Amino acid sequence: MDDPSRPAFVSEVVPRSQWRTVAGRFFSHRFAVGALVVALAGYVLTFMAEPLTGWNYKELSRDLSQGPSADHWFGTDTIGHDMFAQSMRGLRVSIHVSMVVAAIATVLGTVLGAVQGWFRGRVDAGVGLLVDFLLILPLLPVLMVLATRTRAVGGSSLMFVAVVIGLFLWAPLARVVRGEVFSIREKEYIEAAAALGASNTRIIFRHLIPNVMSSVVVYATLTVATAILVETALAFLGFGIQPPEVSLGALVDEGRDAARTRWWLFYLPGAVLIALVLCVNFVGDGLRDAFDPRQRRATRQRRATRQRRATRQRLDPRQRLDPRQRLATRQRRATRQRRPQ
């Protein structure tokens, strides 16, 4: 028998963490989820290229300058390299470089930005000068000079290129984190932690940085796309990763002269590069909307407002008048209303 003392309906409220809420918003973003799936599938394909095609990116075949076929999905170059294996190797290199760059830039930008916003004073001024200096530097010329000067001591290695690019891309994130820390440091829980004797290190890493992680995650994702483009530009100009390693930028540069006669050498590696950058940007847009749903809501409201205005203009011919004509019509109507009866 049912216990009469117990309520008939018991509703249990299950609390949801912030990250679970963000994950739910992200997975409701169809373009971002699709881009993430495509990017992950492409990364897995970089390891499956040799088993699928039977060609290694260093291996030479007897088919020289052959177009795409069943044996060579992306064709071959002038010396017999399989372009699909080469493109997949370049894709893997670009992803690895961009991940290292994003990790370095994110760690440096987050920590220095939080330190700059918390201490203020001379620390803020000193780090601010360094940030301003890095922001005004022309990135590509500086990286080309560094690659030229240090090529003899490993300037063409994958890790060296990633570290150098990462050391130049942290400044924008530091400025963003500094601005958010300025607004957070006056909160009650920060003042309570300081009053209880928490050290500066604990306040920065335990209270400040976790509360700016939404901006950090979004910036880290967009840094991946920036790093891919910078590394590709360096390789395209001949100052990035050098042979025998493969880069998408180097493949595009090698196929540039044959773009009209052997189109697969230029357009197919370029298509892989464009697809990778677009996927990363879509994922970044999805993370931004997930962490800050107000932006997505505002975009929808602006779109709905434009649609309602267009509908009114189609239904009411008076709405088709230009602003001057509408103003003159309102003035005449007001004049008629003010006239004595």
Give the CATH number, domain containing residue 143: 1.10.3720.10
Q: Give me the number of domains the chain comprises.
A: 1
Asked, for residue 302, whether it belongs to a domain, the answer is: no
> Radius of gyration (Cα) for the chain, nearest Å?
28
Residue 295: per-residue pLDDT: 52
Domain that holds residue 273: 18-293+314-338
Asked, for residue 323, whether it belongs to a domain, the answer is: yes
Asked, for residue 3, whether it belongs to a domain, the answer is: no
Asked, for residue 308, whether it belongs to a domain, the answer is: no
Residue 111: per-residue pLDDT: 92
Residue 61: per-residue pLDDT: 79
Asked, for residue 10, whether it belongs to a domain, the answer is: no
Quote the pTM value: 0.73
Q: Tokens in use for 218?
A: 């979004």
Residues of the chain with pLDDT under 50: 1, 9-11, 154-155, 298
Cis peptide before 244 (omega within 30 of 0): yes
Asked, for residue 2, whether it belongs to a domain, the answer is: no
